[in-house]
Amino acid sequence: MSKTYHLTTPLDDEITSKLHSGDIVYISGTIYTARDAAHKRLVDLLDEGKELPFDIKGAIIYFVGPTPPKPGDPIGSAGPTTSYRMDSYSPRLIAEGLKGMIGKGKRNEAVTDACQKHKAIYFGATGGAGALLGKKIESAEVIAYEELGPEAIRKLEVVDFPVTVINDTYGKDLYKIGRSQYEVK
Amino acid sequence: MREIAYEEIVKNVRDIIIYSASNLPQDALKAMKEAYENEKSPVSKEVLKQLLDNADIASSEARPLCQDTGLAVFFIKLGADVKVVGGLLKDAINEGTEKGYIEGYLRASTCHPFSRANNKDTVGYNLPAIIHLDIVEGDKIEIEYAAKGGGSENVSRARVFPPAAGKQGVIDYVKECISDAGPNPCPPLTVGVGIGGTFEKAAISSKHALFRDIGSKNEDPEMAELEHEIKTELNKLGIGTMGMGGTETVLAVHIEANPCHIASLPVSVNVQCHSSRHTHITI
């Protein structure tokens, strides 16, 4: 049976261990945006032994490339992008302490294994709900790689940002569970 | 010969780009509401509700429906009795596209295929637009426009089968494509299927099929029946809204068929996410 949680960042093992595939979670606090190009740069920094532009311990990364804000708004539309493109980078960041990722779509085994091993969660947000999700973001500040435009790293303050647990710390996958319930063979 | 000013085309293109970004067309809204009514999975139903709320917020606040405001794709029917004055038609469409994306606060999503750089020096602000041009009778310009997102485009496929593959080969291929795609292309989907022609004709037809009103039937009864059959098969996959599991994975299957070479059966599948932003105007 799916449960509903209201969580505040940063996350720790105690929190992530409570969550199960299919649970609904409303996230408040700080989350960071990063997508393809920014992920490559983060992993390059780690390879060079340098510091990341934000504290990754207990952090959540949101895979999003928002539209430009209209004057007076903190951010434009901001729904999740397809996550598999980050698969080659996520296990490394999870090993460094990343506790949550928000995106949409399937992850590979290396990512789901890393989630199990290091007690991290892959959350799904509703793809295409950019107008609705953008309204859950109270502030946005570019903290790295401004030249990447929509792909720059932003520090977001969110309130009750709605997500669903896709991959939990126990190796479960909501996409597989959900589909098997409704598939007609 | 009717003269149409370059600037008029620029303005029309700009306006439809900005309007389409935040207003889901009526056919798409109707299909989404029907999916909401029919969906058996409570989780998928909840997500569909979020998407209907999203459409409301987007249109009432003029916010983009999705942060992926797409690449601008046009199918243009240019009347043979039209003369565009003040510049080239192609340039007018590109200028209108750039204006629409900048003035509508929409996301620039084009880049160089390898460097991934996105700036004015290389390809411009969401330029160039993808333009398919046809010359037809008459003195009007018909513009069919869609903002095509990357997530759904990435799962599209094309393949040339031997003729023996037949109808069943087409059904199996579309099933395989949508099954492998799973949650990634943002279901519920509209699936465009281009059948026949050549390799590239099938691909362009599968894209053009997505511009049809969602749920309208192919004029050829045999193709209309095949559309229905494929839709039924795809909804048995159980993928559901955003892949959460459910009964409503596909809003519609649209087929566009063409005669082909006696040796070939080209098939292309082009996928459209639930945010089916398409507009049709005539100047």
Residue B35 lies in a domain: no
* Cα B19 to the center of its chain, rounded Å: 16
Other beta carbons within 10 Å of A28: 16
Is the confidence at residue B99, as pLDDT, over 50?
Answer: yes
Choose the weakest-confidence range: B9-23, B111-125, B196-210.
B111-125
Residue B157 lies in a domain: yes
> Which residues, 6 or more positions from A174, have their beta carbon under 8 angstroms from its beta carbon?
A21, A22, A124, A164, A165, A166, A167, B244, B245
Residue B52 lies in a domain: no
> Considering only CA atoms, which of B74, B66, B38, B75 is closest in space to residue B152?
B66
What does the pLDDT read at residue B78?
98
Same domain, B108 and B240: no
What does the pLDDT read at residue A1?
67
Domain end: B112, B132, B148, which one? Answer: B148
Domain end: B99, B133, B148, which one? Answer: B148
Please list every residue in chain A whose beta carbon sits closer than 8 Å to the beta carbon of residue B115.
none
Inter-chain contact A69–B105, Cβ cutoff 8 Å?
A: yes
Q: Which domain CATH number covers A8?
A: 3.20.130.10
Please list every residue in chain A whose beta carbon sits closer than 8 Å to the beta carbon of residue B184.
82, 84, 104-106
CB-count exposure of residue A82 (10 Å: 0-12, 13-18, 19+): buried
What are the structure tokens assigned to B200, written together?
Answer: 């590239």
What does the pLDDT read at residue B124?
60
Is the confidence at residue B193, as pLDDT, over 90?
Answer: yes
Nearest-Cα distance to chain B for A181, in Å, is: 7
What does the pLDDT read at residue A161?
97
Question: In chain B, where does DSSP find H-type helix?
Answer: 6-22, 26-38, 42-61, 89-103, 150-153, 166-181, 199-209, 221-235
Residue B120 binned pLDDT confidence (cut-offs 50, 70, 90) = low
Same domain, B206 and B134: no
Question: Chain-wide mean pLDDT for chain B?
Answer: 95
Same domain, B160 and B216: yes
Same domain, B160 and B144: no
Q: How many domains does one find in chain A?
A: 1
Same domain, B176 and B236: yes
Please list every residue in chain B whose beta carbon sits closer than 8 Å to the beta carbon of residue A70.
63, 105
Residue B44 lies in a domain: no
The catalytic site residues of A sit at 39
Same domain, B122 and B249: no
pLDDT > 70 in chain B, percent: 98
Is the confidence at residue B121, as pLDDT, over 50?
Answer: no
Nearest to A178 among B43, B68, B105 (CB): B43
Other beta carbons within 10 Å of B36: 19
Residue B33 lies in a domain: no
Helix (H) or strand (E) holding A109: helix A109-118
Which residues form the domain of A13?
Answer: 4-182
Residue B40 lies in a domain: no
What does the pLDDT read at residue B122?
41
Which of A23, A35, A40, A132 is the mutation pick for testing B, counting most B CBs within 10 A?
A132
Inter-chain contact A129–B247, Cβ cutoff 8 Å?
A: no
Same domain, B141 and B198: no
Inter-chain contact A70–B105, Cβ cutoff 8 Å?
A: yes
What does the pLDDT read at residue B108?
85
Nearest-Cα distance to chain B for A53, in Å, is: 22
Which residues form the domain of B96?
Answer: 2-20+65-148
What are the structure tokens assigned to A64, written together?
Answer: 């999003």
Provide mean pLDDT across the span B145-161: 96
Q: Name the closest residue on chain B to residue A167, using Cα atoms.
A: B244
Starting at the edge strand that comes first in sequence, how are the strands of the sheet with B157-161 ordered?
B157-161, B265-272, B189-197, B250-260
Residue B29 lies in a domain: no
Please list every residue in chain B whose beta carbon sits closer than 8 Å to the beta carbon of residue A104.
151, 183-184, 186, 242
Same domain, B15 and B127: yes
DSSP for A46-80?
Answer: HHTTPPPSS--TT-EEE---PPPPPTT-S----PP
**pLDDT tens series, chain A, 185 aa:** 689 999 999 999 999 999 999 999 999 999 999 998 899 999 999 999 999 999 999 999 999 989 999 999 999 999 999 999 999 999 999 999 999 999 999 999 999 999 999 999 999 999 999 999 999 999 999 999 888 888 889 999 999 999 999 999 999 999 999 999 999 98
Q: Averaging pLDDT over each range in A143-147, B43-47, B209-213, which range is the top one?
A: B209-213
Q: How many domains does one find in chain B?
A: 2
Same domain, B122 and B200: no
Same domain, B10 and B141: yes
Inter-chain contact A175–B244, Cβ cutoff 8 Å?
A: yes
> Which residues, 6 or more positions from B119, have their beta carbon under 8 angstroms from its beta carbon?
none
